[in-house]
Amino acid sequence: MLNGKVAVITGGTRGIGFATAKKFLDNNCKVILFGSKKESVDKAIRELKKINNTYEVSGLFPNICDLKEVEKAFDEINKKYGEIDILINNAGISAMDSIYDYTEENFKKIMDLNVNAVFNCSKVVAPIMKKNGGGVILNTSSMVSLYGQPSGCGYPTSKFAVNGLTKSLARELGPDNIRVNAVAPGIIYTDMMKNIPKEKIKPLINTIPLRKIGRPEDVANAFLFLASDMASYVTGVVLSVDGAARN
């Protein structure tokens, strides 16, 4: 579905990002992973190569909150491949701090990675895509961007902003043949979920009409569809992948 395409995936070393990288590679896409440090990037590449040593995968570890580092990284990729067809802004962090305890520093940290980095990567990749006749920008949102959450207001606030950026860029970049969409995952069985005791997971499952927790592959499938030509007339959408969970 993505034969010959070149994709950059931020936060691509684990969880949803890693599953999406594998899904794209399985569909003959060339993938460049962005991670927070060299060690995690190298580890992810080794794991992918163990699955299939013919995967065309490489990685970088720029500080995506720094526009100049993003420009340098994307310039390097563009020179190597001659194009960047797909960008997935997946890197992000969460927190559950109460408003009574939330510090200005922690709130800023959430907004920097979850919003500013998405802006930086989108700003830098857009002219590359425009020059090459178009492309696809996909953002990782969250179900809490639609419904909020009872504590940790910084995270849903940042994802509300991602939704706004998604819809606005879809309208702005549409004339340049650049589609912009987001995926809003619900409760997904990532490494973080694996550390939660089973007695706490069961009540969560009961809130989901499908009565199961999603897998990273479920989100990766949504990204694959939105990145492919099957979604050629889909832009400005925030696609929920949450089993109809609404809490």
| Confidence band of 202 (pLDDT split at 50, 70, 90) | confident
H or E element, residue 164: helix 154-173
pLDDT value, residue 194: 73
pLDDT, tens digit (0-9, with 9 covering 90-100), for 53-100 = 999 999 999 999 999 999 999 999 999 999 999 999 999 999 889 999
pLDDT, tens digit (0-9, with 9 covering 90-100), for 152-185 = 999 999 999 999 999 999 999 999 999 999 999 9
Q: Are 67 and 124 in contact (CB under 8 A)?
A: yes
pLDDT of 192 higher than 90: no
| Confidence band of 113 (pLDDT split at 50, 70, 90) | very high
pLDDT, average across residues 35-39? 97
DSSP-based helix, strand, coil % in the chain, nearest 5: 50, 15, 35
Helices (H), the chain: 15-26, 38-51, 67-81, 104-111, 117-131, 144-147, 154-173, 191-194, 198-206, 216-227
| Active-site residue identified among 55, 102, 155, 189 | 155
Does the annotation mark 147 as catalytic?
A: no
What class does CATH assign to 6-187+216-241?
A: alpha beta
Query: Hey, where are the domains in the chain?
Result: 6-187+216-241
pLDDT value, residue 226: 98
pLDDT value, residue 201: 78
pLDDT of 197 higher than 90: no
Q: Are 214 and 221 in contact (CB under 8 A)?
A: no
pLDDT, average across residues 23-38? 97
Residue the block writes with tokens 């700003």 = 123
Q: Cα(1)–Cα(104) distance, rounded to whole angstroms? A: 44
| Confidence band of 191 (pLDDT split at 50, 70, 90) | confident
| Confidence band of 196 (pLDDT split at 50, 70, 90) | low
What is the value of pTM for the model shown? 0.95
User: Any idea how long the chain is?
Assistant: 247
